[in-house]
Amino acid sequence: MMAKRYLGTFVIFAGIVLAWQMLHLLGGETALASPAATAVKLVALFRSDMFWGHVAETAKAFTFALVLGILGGVSLGVVLGLSRLSSAVAGPMLVNLYSIPKVTLYPLVLLCFGLGLAAKVAFGVMHGMIPMTIFTMNAIRQMKPVLLRSSKMMRLTPWQTASTIVLPAVMPEVLSGIRLGFSLTLLGVLIGEMFASKRGLGFLVTNAMNLGDTETIMAVAVLLTAFAVTANGLLINLGSSRHR
């Protein structure tokens, strides 16, 4: 029943807020702002232009990074996935790259791109592109050969094959990769802003951390969480409506 499902989410949500309140009581204001104080701060931030300036900054970097990441990741995944050899060679390398703490490359990125938008976008792409490549590549490899044979029997042109058979067949996995890449790209951009910028939500958080302003920290965290959960939900719906 639909109602039951929303009830479940509500219960979880209530549980989180409760745990939050308890931690606040335990740790005090310097550790963690209370849910109530956070809500107040969030409203105040929404009213301030300065805040929206930061949001715009992050949104700009994020959009660039996401678009680059999707285009680069999916196309690279397709190219690698088309041949058995290339996917077998690249597979373990990509997984290893994914597991390397990207923090080790931060100084290199900063030295290459300087401070500012380019570095932030680089951070975002760095975090988000690899999973999209991996998922796309796997999706192409795992596509049933019989689908391609059927398309040959139907005498489809390469373009028709790609758009009407290959693309729908790999869509679910590619979307899964994009969902993961979405969150990671956002994380990358935020981290980039923590070092490499004087603007953006990441900077806002670092600044607040230095000042001990836990209300701002939590307000931004709540905003980001809400955004990520919503976007994720939309992407899931996008995926399922095509294939159920």
Q: How many CB atoms lie within 10 A of CB 42?
A: 19
* Binders of another protein in range 94-153 (CB under 8 A): 95-96, 98-108, 111-112
What is the token pair recorded at 169? 């067949």
Q: Does 244 bind another protein (CB under 8 A)?
A: no
> Shortest approach of another protein to residue 182 CB, angstroms?
8
> Shortest approach of another protein to residue 194 CB, angstroms?
7
> Shortest approach of another protein to residue 4 CB, angstroms?
7
Q: Does 55 bind another protein (CB under 8 A)?
A: no
Which listed residue (49, 92, 152, 153) binds another protein by CB under 8 A?
92
Applying CB under 8 A, the site for another protein has a residue count of: 60
Toward another protein, which CB reaches closer, 53 or 212? Answer: 212
Q: Does 22 bind another protein (CB under 8 A)?
A: no
Alpha helices in 100-200 (DSSP H): 106-113, 117-141, 145-153, 158-160, 167-196
Return d(Cα 100, Cα 23) in angstroms, integer.
33
Question: Alpha carbon of 66 to those of 51, 75, 97: distances in Å?
Answer: 22, 14, 19
Which listed residue (202, 215, 219, 239) binds another protein by CB under 8 A?
202
Spatial CB neighbours of 135, under 8 Å, sequence gap ≥ 6: 77, 173, 174, 176, 177, 178, 180
Q: Does 67 bind another protein (CB under 8 A)?
A: no
With beta carbons less than 8 A apart as the criterion, state whether 81 and 139 touch: yes
> Applying CB under 8 A, which part among 66-74, 135-143, 157-165, 213-221 lies near another protein?
213-221
Spatial CB neighbours of 136, under 8 Å, sequence gap ≥ 6: 73, 74, 76, 77, 78, 81, 170, 173, 174, 177
What is the token pair recorded at 33? 């702002």
Q: Does 53 bind another protein (CB under 8 A)?
A: no
* Binders of another protein in range 176-195 (CB under 8 A): 179-180, 182-184, 186-187, 190-191, 194
Q: Does 25 bind another protein (CB under 8 A)?
A: no
Residue showing tokens 């500012």: 116
What is the token pair recorded at 182? 């979405």
Q: Which residues bind another protein (CB under 8 A)?
A: 1, 4-5, 8-9, 11-12, 23, 26-28, 30-32, 85, 88-89, 92-93, 95-96, 98-108, 111-112, 179-180, 182-184, 186-187, 190-191, 194, 202, 205, 209, 212, 214, 217, 221, 224-225, 227-229, 231-233, 236
